[in-house]
Every structure is written in structure tokens, then in C-alpha cells.
Amino acid sequence: MSNGYFSLVLHAHLPYVRHKEANRLEERWVFEALTETYIPLLWVLEEQPENLSWTLSFSSPLLELLNDPVIQKRYLEHLDLTIKLVKKEKKHSTNQEEQKIIAFYEERYKKIMETYQEFNCKVTDAFKRYMNLGKVNCITSSATHAFLPYVQTEQGVRAQIFAGVQTFEKYFGEKPKGFWLPECAYSPGVDIALAEAGIQYTFVDEETLLRSKPVPSKGIGAPVYSPHGVALFSRNQCISETIWNSSVGYPGDFDYREFYRDVAYERDNEYIKSFIHPEGIRVDTGLKYWRITGKTENKDWYQREWAWNKVQSHAYDFCHRITEYLHTNEQSYPPQLITAPFDAELFGHWWFEGPEFLLQSMKVSTEQNITWITPQEFLIRHYQDLETVRPCFSTWGRNQTGEVWLNESNAWMYRHLHHCERKLVQLAARLSNEKPNIVVERYADQMVREWMLASSSDWAFIIEGNSATEYAKSRFQEHIERFHELNRSIENGTYHPDEIANFENQYPFIRTKDLWQFFKNKHDEYVASQYNEQKAVGKKKILMLSWEFPPMVVGGLARHVFDLSRKLVEQGTEVYVITSSVPGYPEHEVNNGVHVYRVAGKQPNFESFFHWTGSLNLAITEQALALANKFDFDCIHAHDWLVSVSALAIKKELNIPLITTIHATEHGRNNGITSPLQYEINQKEWELMDGSDTLIVCSDYMKNELTGVFSIPEEKITILPNGIDPEQITYRSSPSSEEKKRDDHELLLFSVGRVVKEKGFQTIIEAADILRNSGRKVRFVIAGKGPLLDELKEMIRQKSLEEYVHLAGFVSDEERNEYFAKADAAIFPSHYEPFGIVALEGMASGKLTIVSDTGGLREIIDHEKTGLKVYPNDPESIVWAVEYILSNRERCQDIAKNGEEIARTVFSWDSIAEKTSELYETEQNQTTKVGGIV
Amino acid sequence: MNLIEDIVKLKENGLTLQEIAQRMNMSLGKVQYRWNKYRQQQTPSNHELLSQPVLKEEKWTMPFEYEETNVHLMPRTPDSLYVYWSFSQSTKQMAEQHFRTKWEDLPSLLKIYDVTDIDFFGHNAHRTFEVELPPMTNNWFLQSLEPGRTYITDIGTRTFDGSFFTLLRSNPAETSPALYNSLHDEKIDRWKHQIVDQPEWLENFSTYSYYQKIR
């Protein structure tokens, strides 16, 4: 007795070839497989030795076909017709050899008919009976034999596996414990769904184990567990090959029946025409009288006794090989296991004598004490003795790779299948939150069926194999087309019970309900339930685009967008800000009621800033359109050229108004356009202005720039000043008492901003130089960082002004407020300043504020009433202001008070947000009115 | 007259001629004769076909691709992978706008990143290489890869100064490892001993969710 096991596994599968109309050629695949394989396998089961069992897998399409009353009836007819032909043959035959064979078929077909009728045409019931007797262990496969690693979504894999399991349960009354992976195609993650479906074991190729990490210590001598706990039994190639290999295997023996020779092609048309296809196409009748004979076209008569002798000797040879293998590869615990899986149709259909060979092998095995075991029994005995490894993607196809199902001839198919999967997820997300609609759900279920029928691995296999490709292509295309038709009916609201009934009847495959539910997703259900409540409130939804947002603060933009957004929220608008990601900050947060989404481009470290923004814009649009899947935005509000590309793309896609605030322009910052990069930015600015429905600027000054430099029509521009929040600049702790009180003739002037040329800080240093030389005790503090910092430092060092000008660098909001509180005045000598929010902050802090008479600053301050104005780029002018303060102390306090009043009322966010809302409203109404013309 | 109508009706319902014969209590030969005669009458001559072009229903054709932003990388062999993709109108428009160049005039490239055991963020691959694509290409077989590695593919274009600019990024996919590649694997050990609660390797399927970018 050998120490080891042998396990036979047959996998029975046909694609779903049931057609409503009769006489489709492909339907004969079922008839042939019944006649030659499935019914003869029942005979094997009837006669096989006691205490011996093997495994048989049925795919869902096959189960559905075998249990379809129409197919059953057509098969009976087909049998009738064949029996008639046998009779006719018997009558006409004159050759004695031929008569012997005809007699064999007469007997055989009689028996086939008997067996088929014995079980009332229900072949699966027969197998179930033998399963209950312990003679065979039936398992199943995926719903339509999809090549699972090439399914895109987890939902799709689950649908295939669970629907397969359910179909099996329907016909066998119990859940399968084993599962046939179509094409033995395994990939990491398949085992999750298998385990969830209660599957304990499945089958892979031997290379799957040999490429695993780590390689199992028993090699292919024992099954292994996948990471998620499914036992993987690997095909033993060496033993299997003796059967399936067409050149070295048994089926090619010259004494076996020739597959390709059939009486259909041997008889006159007139004689045979009622036994072949009604259209006159010659198709196999199943009566094959010849043996392989040799590598010749001249085939000799099939001799049953010869074939039978070969069956016996092959069965002995096979058992001998098994014994040899188990002996040579003996291993201690668990004992060596040979798993030999095959397509069931190999036995009988392709190899006519196959079922007899199996039966003989079983008998010889019993004689020779070779232990046959089913994987299920093996697991009961050895479940504790198996290793866990992580296997990789592999198949039982050519080179154990995916190349048979994915190559130049069939790769195009997957785009369509994956598209269907995603559509189904989308549909499920929608349906799971809508009021149930039985008709729409039937559509959804049928869409799942169409996707399933299209994803059958058979189509890709046939197309790569170049036979019957037309049928495979047209079936694939048909199901994809039907999928889209069904989807269209749902989308257009033209769904109708008659239409869906028609679709269902065309392919009555897996008629269970709620197939679409497999495509649900917990996250989608959550989102659907969350956002529906919000929708009910009916608030306006604004999509706010800004490349900077707190905590990312580069200039005044971040602050502006934040203040505006939260004020809008306070006033009853919903605001969704999309901005750039900041390491350590959440991708999504709700900050003061504002939804903030932080996104990163695919190349977040792009060296070129310009292309970095391009990359960011793609990400912004992706996020915006994803949000728009769930709810409708009313307006887009974009800020500056950095979001130009996404703002315009989103506007086009969603067809909603785009409102853009231009905070500054490249032309203004650089006093003209000189470099190629500036030119590109200038172009982006123009495109954004041109593509926006309306523009907001903060000052007359900016409006003039837009009309002048960019030729923007005046009526497209609205001036809304920037606002400030006095809360943000209030200094909370009292100035420290140690601080020595300044003398009346001493002054502290504070300035803050990005240290760049246009802010004019260098003018302060020049003024300080003059003041020092004239003996004034005036100190300046400049807070902020920027590219010009080093240059300013050097300037101060050269003029030895360290005591008079202090560069504070970056300061926190708190420190800034402290400086405002301590200073006598604030000064902002910018050369270019579209608005000048800092000036407002100076005013709101109650300090006299000195600004350049330029840009937006000019418009904020009324000279000698709410602040002081100086000439830009003119140190003498700053000197004048200092002298003014020193000699008009009380007057200056009044001016500061007036300034504070103006800053806190006219420039309050309350009023600005209100006006912004009104603008949204106007734009929306206009777009609605113009309607289709836009 | 009615006889043939009944036959046609039953035929349309999917019955075979034999079934029809049974149902109508006629001989098969009779039914066959009627049916063939009917079919002959129904087949219009070429001339008639030409004069009735209106009746020809437009056949649905498989789309070449779908107008959506999508890219999917698939496992294939130990040294090859397959990727297919498509662009939405808005992505094309954004590329055109960013580069101020017509879509057709933008160079089309594919960039392959070896991201084995890396939390990839766009710039930290072990190795990368680029493939110039012929125009109108929407899929590619990536060949000569290393076994047992994880790859990501970007579809993109080239900036004027020669940098690769990503338009689409694929899911990661693995080339199968070589035979007998390792006798020990720490990742499976950590998983078995529950030191990690998520597997540290790639599992093939994406939990696709329609609202995945909405929180």
C-alpha cells in the first residue's frame, strides 16, 4: 500500500448557450456534453467501487441549462432524432463492421434515454443522489465562470462568487464547501470573498504554490492555506498530463474513437438532411464509427473490444504512475497528495472512452490499495497540518499566466466589463437610498445578469483560440449592448414592466432577485444617507476654489477665503472649499461649518511651480466632480489664476455660473510682463477672467487694471472690498508691565507683509536713515518673511540702522496683534497693492495707519480723516508723516478712532458676505434666464 | 392562411418545427413545407432591399472607449502587465488649457514606476521608465518587467522643458514572482501572528465606491 492520496476533480462547465429561438448551433454543446459526458458519468457513479469518492464541480450556467425545461425538452427531441437516425442507419447499412458499431450506438442511445428519463430529465438531481450516497462531492464555481483576477471591483468578485454559491444551493439544497476557480485563476484578494461565502477549499495550478511567498516546505505535496484561510489544492501537472496532453496522453491512442469523423459528413444530403441543422448546415450527429487509426486521413472502423482493452491497460498504467509518484515523493505528515483536476467534458466528449477509463482506474485503485480522497475529507483529516503562504496571480493556462485571457486579440473586452461594474456600483449607490421601485430593481438585476453573461471567461478564451470567434464576439457584444439599453431606460425614466420582462425572457439566467445588492458599498450608503438630509434644507451650495487656505497661508488670500466662507455659512449658505493639501492636515474637515477638501496633485513635488499648479488643478476638478455626483452646486467661486484651469473645466462640466475674485494680477505685481512664466500666468489670468460670468475685485484701482490691461468690459466687474474680522486682531493679554513707557518724542511704527519688492519696505529703511540723521527717536518693526529679506538685512547693516529698523521675520497672529497694540502707528508703503487688507487691520486695531497713495490703499483711507497717505517709493514722504504725528498727537488719535470705525463697519465681513451672496443670486438667475443659449 | 400565421407565431415563441407539428397535430413534413414556403416569400430580392433603406435599423456598435477618466493596470505574466485608459472631455480640456496646446498636438507618454513595498506619492519610486506612445493609443502591453515587483503606470504628456506631466495614474499591479523565490516571508508571518491587522501586500480588487471622494 502506498503512503499517500489521490484526488480526482472534474469541473463541468458550459457557457450559457440557451437561446429563445430553437436550433441554435451552440445549444448542441449542451446536448453533446449530456450524451457523451454527464450521463456516462452517472453510469460511472452507479458502478464505482464502494468507499471511493471524487469531486465534481458544476458551474452556474451549466446548472441553469441542465434545469431549464426548454433545454430539457429540446434535448429529448434531439435524442429522439438521433435514435431515429440510428434506426435509419441500421436499415441502410450493408457493411458488417459498420453494423456492429451501429448496434453499439443503438444500445447506447437506448441507455442514455433511459437514464435521462429515470431522473425526469433532471441530471443534477441524479448527481445529488450520488452525492448523498457519498460517491461524489459536488461543488460549484463563479456565476458565469468569470476570470476572477480580471474582474475590477471587489463587488464584482463578490457578485460572481456569491451568486455562484446561491445557484448551487438552489439545485443541491446545501451550500458548497468547495469552489472551482475558473481557469484556476487565483490572485491575492480572491480568497477574501471565497472565505466570506463559506468556501473552505479551491484549486490552483502547481506553479501557484511554487511561486508563493514563501514556497511551501512540502512543495506541491500538500495543499496550503491562503492568507484569508481558504485551502488551495494544487494541480499535479506530472500526473494530469498523462490524461490531458494530446500528444503524450492516453486519449490520442489509435484505438480510441475519432472525434472529428461523424456520419453527418459521410451521407448524401437528401439522406441526412432531417438529422442535421434545419438550415442544411452539417453538424455532428454523435454517430462516429471510426477510430483514430493513426496520423492518416483514412480512418478504420472503431472496434469496441480494442478500445476497451486500451481502457484497461491505460487504467493500470495510470494507477502504476500514481503509485510510483507517491513512492518517489513520499513525505511525512501530511502524506503526499496528488490532486488531478480536469475539465469534465474531456471525459466522454473529447475522449470518448474517458468515463470508462475513470471507472476502470477506480477499480484498479481499489485492487491496489491506492487511497482516493476528496479535498473535503483531506481537510477533515489534516486541517491542522497545513502551512499558510501568500500565492500570487496565476492560472492553469499557457505558461500558467493570464496571457490566454489577456492578449492582443481579447484585451479590448475588459474596458467594457469594468465599465459595467462601475456603472453597477453607481446604480446600487443610487438605488440603496431611493424609495424602492420594483421595476427599476428588476432592471438593475438584469443589468447584473448581462454583465455576468458578458464576463464569462469562455468568450475571451474562444476569441483568442480562433474558433467560433464570431459567436463569442457577438454574445459579448450583445450583453454589453443590452446592459447599456437597460441603463438608458433607467436614466431616461422610460423603464417599463413589459420591456424588462422581454429582457428577462431572452436570457432567463439566475432569476433570483436582488443581484444588484452585491454592488452596494457601505461608504456609498453612508454618504447617500448623510447628504440627503442636507439636501432637504435647500440651502445654496457654493464650490469655493482657492489654492491656499488656513493653515496654509502664503499671502492674504487664505485668510480672505476663510473669512468669506465662514461668514457665508453663518448667513445660511453651504460652502465647499477645495484647496491644496497640507501635510498633517485632514483631507476633509468641517471648519466653522465650512467643508474643506484638501487635495494634492499626482506630482506634489513638481519642481516647476507652474506645472505644480497644473497638477493641482486636475486634482481639484476630480474632487469637485466627485462632489457634484452627489449634490448640485449652485455656483463656483474661484480665486486667482492658480485655479483657472479647474474653474473653467468644472464650469463647463456642470454648466453653472463661475464667479471669480481677482485679488491681484501678474502684470500689476511686476509692473508689466517680462518673463515667459509671467506671460503664461498672464494668459491664465485672462482665460479665467474671460471664462467667468462675473468678476469681483476689491477696489476701483483693480477694476481699472482689469479694464485697462485685460480689456474686460466694465459691466462684468463688481467691486467688493475685502473684509476684516476685528476679533482676529484683538490683542488679548495686556502689554507686559516691564515694557518701558516710551517718551513723548519717541515713536514705534509697525509694518507687516510678505517681504517682496512691491511692499516697499526698502523705502522704510531709507526713511529711517534720514530720521536717524536728523536725530529723531523713531523705531520701525517690519514683520514677515520673503525673498527680499536678506537684501533688507544687508541694507540695514550697511547703514548701521540695527537700532532703528528691526526685521522681526515671521510672526504669529498673536505676536502681530501684540505689535499692533504696542505701536504708535502702522505703516504700509507698498508700491503695488490691489487692496491692502493689512491697512484695514491697522485701522481696526485702533492705530493711526499710514499707507501709500496707490492701488486699493488709496481708496481705503481718506487722508487726514481716517489715516495718512504718503507717496509710494518716497522716503521723504514717510519722514513727513512721522513729523506730522510728532507734532499733531491729539489730532492723530482722532484720525485713528475714525479709521477704526470705518474698518469695523464698511469693511465688515457681514456686509461683504451679504453682497457676495446677492451676486451669486443674480448670476444664477441670469444663467437660468438665458437657459439653453449658454 | 391562418395556418401559416400560427406556425410563424409559434416559431417566434421559440418552438421547433417538430414541436409545432405536435402542437398543431400536423405531420412534420407539412409544417416544414409551409414554413419553407413562407420563408421564401419573406426573403426580399436585392432590388427590394435597396429601395427600402429606411427599414434598416442602425446597428449598435461597441464604443472604442468611454468618455470617462479611467485607467486600469492588470496583472498578466511574470514580466508583463496590461494597461488601458480613457480620458474625459474635461481632463482633455484641462490639459489643453494648462499647456495652451491642442490635445492632438500634446505628446502622449506612459511612465512606469516600480513601487514595490513603497507608499507611493508620486516621486519616490525605486525605478521609473517612460514609453512614448503612438497617437490614438488607449492601451498598452508593458513588457520586459521584473518578476515579483509592484508597478504603477501614469499616462501623461511632456512639458516644454521636458518633464513628464501626469494626467492619469493607475492602480498598482504585480508581476508574478519567479519560481521558488523565497523560503521565508516576514509579511505572512506578521499576518499569521496578527501583528498587523491589514495584509501588507497588494490585494487585487478595489473596493470601488461611487462616492469615494465624498466624506
Distance in angstroms (rounded) separating the CA atoms of residues A152 and A423: 12
pTM of the predicted model as reported, rounded to 2 decimal places: 0.86
Window from A62-76, A470-484, A907-921 with minimum mean pLDDT: A907-921
**pLDDT confidence of A276, banded at 50, 70, 90?**
confident
The number of C-alpha atoms within 13 Å of A33 and in the hemisphere containing its C-beta is 22
- pLDDT at residue B54 above 50? no
**Mean pLDDT, range B54-64, rounded to an integer:** 66
A863 touches chain B (CB under 8 A): no
- pLDDT at residue B57 above 60? no
Contacts within 8 Å (CB) and 24+ apart, A82-91: A82/A35, A82/A109, A82/A275, A82/A285, A82/A286, A82/A287, A83/A109, A83/A110, A83/A113, A84/A275, A85/A263, A85/A275, A85/A285, A85/A287, A86/A287, A88/A271, A88/A275, A89/A263, A89/A287
Residue B53 has what DSSP assignment?
Answer: G
Query: At residue A646, what are phi and psi to the nearest 5 degrees?
Result: -70, -40
A591 touches chain B (CB under 8 A): no
Q: Report cis status (omega within 30 of 0) of the bond before A334.
A: yes
- pLDDT at residue A225 above 90? yes
B interface mutation test: which of A183, A207, A392 has the most B CBs within 10 A? Answer: A392
In the prediction, which pLDDT does A143 show? 96
Distance in angstroms (rounded) separating the CA atoms of residues B47 and B51: 6
What number is the ipTM of this complex?
A: 0.87
A122: left (phi over 0), alpha (psi -120 to 50) or beta: beta
- pLDDT at residue B13 above 80? no
Q: Is A892 exposed, middle or buried (0-12, 13-18, 19+ CB in 10 A)?
A: buried
* Pick from A500, A517, A492: nearest CA to A446: A500
Q: Scanning every residue of chain B, which has its alpha carbon at the shortest distance from the alpha carbon of A279?
A: B36
Q: Give B84's contacts in chain A (Cβ within 8 Å).
A: 411, 414-415
User: Using CA of residue A916, residue A917, residue A923, residue A927, what is the dihedral sign?
Assistant: positive
Which tens digit of pLDDT belongs to each residue from B64-85? Answer: 999 999 999 999 999 999 999 9
> What residue type is B58 in one-letter code?
E
- pLDDT at residue A928 above 60? no
Instruction: Give helix then strand counts, H and E, for chain A.
Output: 34, 23
Grid cell 457493411 is found at A95
Angle, vertex CA A464, rays to CA A459 and CA A470, nearest 5: 55
Q: Give B196's contacts in chain A (Cβ within 8 Å).
A: none
What residues form DSSP beta bridges with A777?
A746
Window from A380-389, A548-557, A705-714, B138-147 with minimum mean pLDDT: A548-557
Give the helix, strand, coil percentages of chain A, each rounded to 5: 55, 15, 35
**Mean pLDDT estimate for chain A:** 92
B204: helix, coil or strand?
coil
**pLDDT confidence of A739, banded at 50, 70, 90?**
low
**Mean pLDDT, range B88-93, rounded to an integer:** 95
Which tens digit of pLDDT belongs to each residue from A86-126? Answer: 999 999 999 999 999 999 999 999 999 999 999 999 999 99
**pLDDT confidence of A742, banded at 50, 70, 90?**
low
A506-516 burial: b if 16+ Cβ within 10 Å, else e: ebebbeeeebb
Query: At residue A790, what are phi and psi to the nearest 5 degrees?
Result: -65, -40
Which tens digit of pLDDT belongs to each residue from A487-513? Answer: 999 999 999 999 999 999 999 999 999
Give yes or no for a contact between A202 and A230, defined as CB atoms under 8 angstroms apart.
Answer: yes
Window from A225-234, A307-316, A373-382, A810-819 with minimum mean pLDDT: A810-819
CA B137 to chain centre: 14
A interface mutation test: which of B43, B100, B167, B213 has the most A CBs within 10 A? Answer: B213
A interface mutation test: which of B27, B146, B176 has the most A CBs within 10 A? Answer: B176
Give yes or no for a contact between A460 and A15, defined as CB atoms under 8 angstroms apart.
Answer: no
Which tens digit of pLDDT belongs to each residue from A703-717? Answer: 999 999 999 999 999
Distance in angstroms (rounded) separating the CA atoms of residues A898 and A867: 8
Q: Give B74's contacts in chain A (Cβ within 8 Å).
A: 149-150, 402, 406, 414
CA A792 to chain centre: 53
In the prediction, which pLDDT does B53 show? 43
Distance in angstroms (rounded) separating the CA atoms of residues A395 and A346: 19
Residue in A188, A415, A650 closest to B84 by CB: A415
Which tens digit of pLDDT belongs to each residue from A152-197? Answer: 999 999 999 999 999 999 999 999 999 999 999 999 999 999 999 9
Distance in angstroms (rounded) separating the CA atoms of residues A552 and A479: 51
Give the H/E segment covering residue A239.
helix A237-244
Which tens digit of pLDDT belongs to each residue from A61-78? Answer: 999 999 999 999 999 999
Q: Give B16's contacts in chain A (Cβ within 8 Å).
A: 22-23, 74, 77
How distant is the Cα of A336 from the closest Cα of chain B, in angstroms?
19
In the prediction, which pLDDT does A522 show? 86
Alpha-carbon distances of A897 from A28, A744, A902, rounded to whole Å: 97, 20, 9
**pLDDT confidence of A1, banded at 50, 70, 90?**
very low
Instruction: Pinpoint the alpha helices (H) of A715-854.
Output: 761-773, 789-798, 813-822, 837-844
Residue in B84, B99, B188 closest to A227 by CB: B188
Distance in angstroms (rounded) separating the CA atoms of residues A85 and A287: 9
**Mean pLDDT, range A38-45, rounded to an integer:** 98
Distance in angstroms (rounded) separating the CA atoms of residues A80 and A122: 17
**Structural Rg of chain A based on CA atoms:** 42
- pLDDT exceeding 90 applies to what percent of chain A? 80
Query: At residue A780, what are phi and psi to the nearest 5 degrees?
Result: -115, 135
Give yes or no for a contact between B156 and B122, defined as CB atoms under 8 angstroms apart.
Answer: no
Give yes or no for a contact between B195 and A509, defined as CB atoms under 8 angstroms apart.
Answer: no
In the prediction, which pLDDT does A90 show? 95
Distance in angstroms (rounded) separating the CA atoms of residues B159 and B165: 6
A325-345 burial: b if 16+ Cβ within 10 Å, else e: bbeebebeebbbbbbbbbebb
Query: Angle, to 10 degrees, between the axis of helix A761-773 and the axis of helix A875-887?
Result: 60
Distance in angstroms (rounded) separating the CA atoms of residues A13 and A147: 13
Residue A881 has what DSSP assignment?
Answer: H
Which tens digit of pLDDT belongs to each residue from B123-140? Answer: 999 999 999 999 889 999
**pLDDT confidence of B50, banded at 50, 70, 90?**
very low
* Pick from A498, A507, A393: nearest CA to A150: A393
Give yes or no for a contact between A649 and B96, defined as CB atoms under 8 angstroms apart.
Answer: no
Contact yes or no for A608 and B76 at CB 8 A: no
- pLDDT at residue A406 above 60? yes
**pLDDT confidence of A468, banded at 50, 70, 90?**
confident
Residue in A392, A528, A611 closest to B177 by CB: A392
Q: Give B68's contacts in chain A (Cβ within 8 Å).
A: 419
Q: Report cis status (omega within 30 of 0) of the bond before B172.
A: no
In the prediction, which pLDDT does A734 show? 63
Which tens digit of pLDDT belongs to each residue from A288-329? Answer: 999 999 988 899 999 999 999 999 999 999 999 999 999 999
Which tens digit of pLDDT belongs to each residue from B153-201? Answer: 999 999 998 999 999 999 999 999 988 888 888 888 898 888 888 888 8
Q: Where are the beta strands (DSSP E) in A790-900?
A: 805-809, 825-828, 848-852, 868-870
- pLDDT at residue A761 above 60? yes
User: Which residues make Cβ contacts (< 8 Å) with residue A769, sequence separation at least 6?
Assistant: A799, A801, A875
Q: Give A210's contacts in chain B (Cβ within 8 Å).
A: 179-180
Angle, vertex CA A657, rays to CA A652 and CA A662, nearest 5: 100
Give yes or no for a contact between A805 and A774, defined as CB atoms under 8 angstroms apart.
Answer: no
Per residue, the 3-state secondary structure of A576-589, as one string, reads EEEEECCCCCCCEE
Instruction: Pinpoint the alpha helices (H) of A68-201.
Output: 69-92, 96-118, 123-132, 154-172, 190-196
Q: Give A155's contacts in chain B (Cβ within 8 Å).
A: 207-208
In the prediction, which pLDDT does A932 show? 40
User: Which residues make Cβ contacts (< 8 Å) with residue A413, sequence separation at least 6?
Assistant: A459, A460, A463, A476
B73: helix, coil or strand?
strand
Entry field: residues in chain A: 934
> What residue type is A916 in one-letter code?
T
